[in-house]
C-alpha cells in the first residue's frame, strides 16, 4: 500500500497545497485575450451589458473574461467574432486557447501526478462518489464552481489551470478502445446545486448523456435505501494497462493508493454490494430526469 500525503484523487476538491508550477504564461495570455475582446467591444460601441446580451452570456462572465479571470469558450469567441467583426482575430485566438489548455494538461501538481498517470492508462475504472460529482464527469462550469469555493481561496489563475487540467483528464472517456467505466453516486450529490441551479442543471444533463453512452454505467444510490455498503467512505477501483487492479481512497489532505491484493479484493466485493444496493442504470437515469423535473 502506498500512502501519498497531502494529495488529491478523482475529485481533487479537498484543501490542497498550491500548485508549484509557474502559471504566468497561461494567466498573462488570458489577460491579453481579455484586453483584445474589450478593445473590440469598445470599438463597436457596445457596453458590457449590451455585448453580453448579444452573445448570450451574463454581463459578469464577460467582465471576468475581459479581466483574464475566465477562459473564453470557443462558442463565445465565435459569437464575438461575428458581432464585433473581428476579421478572424478571435477565431485564431480560439485555437491558441486550445493549445494553452493542452499545456495545462501537464500542470497537475506533483501530489496528483501518480494517480493521474494511472488513470490515463486505465482499462477499467469504477468509482464510488458520496460527496461530489466525480471529476471525470464534471462539466467545466461545475469544476470551476467547485474550485472557486475552495477554502482557503485559490488565485484565479490556479483555478483556471486546475479546471483545464481536469477537462483534459476527461479525454480518457473518448479514447478507443474505450475502457470500462462505472460510477455509483449518492443521490444527495444530485440534489446539491453547487454553483447555482443553472450550473447544476447542465451538470445533471451531462450525467444523463454519459449514463446513456455505451460502456459507461452510472448508478444512483437512492436516499431511501435501508442498506449502504459504502458508509466507510468513497473509493476508486482502477486497473491500469498491464498492471493489477488497485484501489484509491482520499480524505481531507491525505490519500492512499492501495496495491495489497487482499485489500483490493475486499473493496471490490464492497463495490459489488453497492451496485446491487443502488438503482439499476435505467432507474438511475430516470431518477436524474425526475430531479430535473422537480425544479
Instruction: Give the cell for residue 211.
Output: 449514463
Cα(108)–Cα(50) distance, integer angstroms: 38
pLDDT beyond 70 at 166: yes
Contact predicate 27/158, CB 8 Å: no
For residue 254, what are the β-bridge partners? 5, 251
Four-point Cα dihedral 287, 288, 292, 295, nearest 10: 60
Cα(186)–Cα(157) distance, integer angstroms: 31
Report if pTM > 0.85: no
Residue found by looking up cell 492508462 in the block:
121
Q: Are residues 74 and 152 in the same domain?
A: no
pLDDT of residue 50: 94
pLDDT beyond 50 at 86: yes
Considering 6-10, 194-198, 249-253, the range whose residues carry the highest mean pLDDT is 194-198
Cα(219)–Cα(222) distance, integer angstroms: 9
Which of 109, 108, 95 minimizes the C-alpha distance to 29? 95
CATH of the domain at 12: 3.30.870
Mark out the alpha helices in the chain (DSSP H runs). 24-43, 48-55, 59-66, 74-84, 89-104, 110-120, 140-148, 156-169, 187-191, 197-211, 261-277, 281-293
Q: Are residues 113 and 224 in the same domain?
A: yes
Q: Are residues 10 and 147 in the same domain?
A: yes
Quote the distance between the C-alpha of residue 40 and its chain's center.
32
DSSP code for 260: -
Per-chain mean pLDDT for the chain: 86
pLDDT beyond 70 at 23: no
Last residue of a domain, one of 81, 104, 127: 104
Q: Are residues 207 and 284 in the same domain?
A: yes
Q: What are the φ/ψ torsions at residue 181 (nearest 5 degrees)?
A: -120, 140
Cα(128)–Cα(126) distance, integer angstroms: 7
Cα(24)–Cα(13) distance, integer angstroms: 23
pLDDT band at 107 (very low <50, low <70, confident <90, very high): low
pLDDT (tens digit, 9 = 90+) per residue, 252-268? 767 788 999 999 999 99
Higher pLDDT residue, 96 or 15? 96
Mean pLDDT of 63-87: 88
Cα(138)–Cα(53) distance, integer angstroms: 27
Last residue of a domain, one of 77, 104, 131: 104
Number of domains in the chain: 2
pLDDT above 70 as % of the chain: 85
∠ Cα 26 70 161 (to 5°): 40
pLDDT band at 295 (very low <50, low <70, confident <90, very high): confident
The lowest-confidence range among 98-107, 180-189, 224-233 is 98-107
Q: Are residues 114 and 241 in the same domain?
A: yes
Contact predicate 83/136, CB 8 Å: no
Domain extent at residue 92: 24-104
Cα(158)–Cα(27) distance, integer angstroms: 9
Last residue of a domain, one of 88, 104, 120: 104
Q: Are residues 207 and 263 in the same domain?
A: yes
Q: Are residues 206 and 172 in the same domain?
A: yes
pLDDT beyond 70 at 179: yes
pLDDT band at 100 (very low <50, low <70, confident <90, very high): low
Q: Are residues 243 and 197 in the same domain?
A: yes
pLDDT of residue 218: 98
Q: Are residues 140 and 172 in the same domain?
A: yes
Amino acid at each position: 500500500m502506498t500512502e501519498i500525503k497531502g494529495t488529491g484523487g478523482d475529485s481533487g476538491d479537498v484543501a490542497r497545497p498550491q500548485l508549484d508550477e509557474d502559471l504566468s504564461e497561461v494567466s498573462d495570455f488570458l489577460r491579453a485575450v481579455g484586453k483584445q475582446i474589450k478593445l473590440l467591444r469598445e470599438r463597436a460601441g457596445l457596453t458590457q451589458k449590451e455585448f453580453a446580451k448579444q452573445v448570450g452570456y451574463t454581463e459578469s462572465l464577460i467582465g471576468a473574461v475581459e479581466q483574464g479571470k475566465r477562459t473564453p469558450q470557443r462558442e463565445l469567441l465565435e459569437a464575438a467574432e461575428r458581432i464585433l467583426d473581428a476579421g478572424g482575430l478571435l477565431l485564431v485566438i480560439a485555437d491558441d486557447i486550445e493549445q494553452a489548455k493542452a499545456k495545462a494538461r501537464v500542470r497537475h501538481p506533483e501530489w496528483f501526478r501518480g494517480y493521474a498517470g494511472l488513470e490515463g492508462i486505465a482499462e477499467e475504472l469504477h468509482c464510488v462518489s458520496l460527496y461530489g460529482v466525480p471529476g471525470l464527469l464534471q462539466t467545466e462550469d461545475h469544476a470551476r464552481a467547485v474550485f472557486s469555493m475552495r477554502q482557503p481561496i485559490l488565485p484565479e489563475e490556479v483555478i483556471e489551470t486546475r479546471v483545464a487540467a481536469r477537462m483534459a483528464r476527461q479525454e480518457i472517456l473518448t479514447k478507443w478502445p474505450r475502457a470500462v467505466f462505472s460510477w455509483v453516486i449518492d443521490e444527495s450529490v444530485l440534489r446539491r446545486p453547487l454553483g447555482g441551479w443553472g450550473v447544476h442543471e447542465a451538470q445533471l444533463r451531462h450525467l444523463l448523456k454519459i449514463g446513456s453512452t455505451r460502456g459507461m454505467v452510472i448508478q444512483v444510490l437512492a436516499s431511501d435505501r435501508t442498506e449502504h455498503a459504502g458508509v466507510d467512505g468513497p473509493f476508486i477501483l482502477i486497473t491500469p494497462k498491464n498492471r493489477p487492479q488497485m484501489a484509491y481512497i482520499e480524505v481531507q489532505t491525505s490519500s492512499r493508493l492501495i496495491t495489497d491484493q487482499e485489500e483490493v479484493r475486499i473493496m471490490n466485493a464492497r463495490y459489488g454490494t453497492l451496485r446491487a444496493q443502488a438503482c439499476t442504470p435505467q432507474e438511475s437515469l430516470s431518477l436524474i430526469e425526475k430531479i430535473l423535473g422537480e425544479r
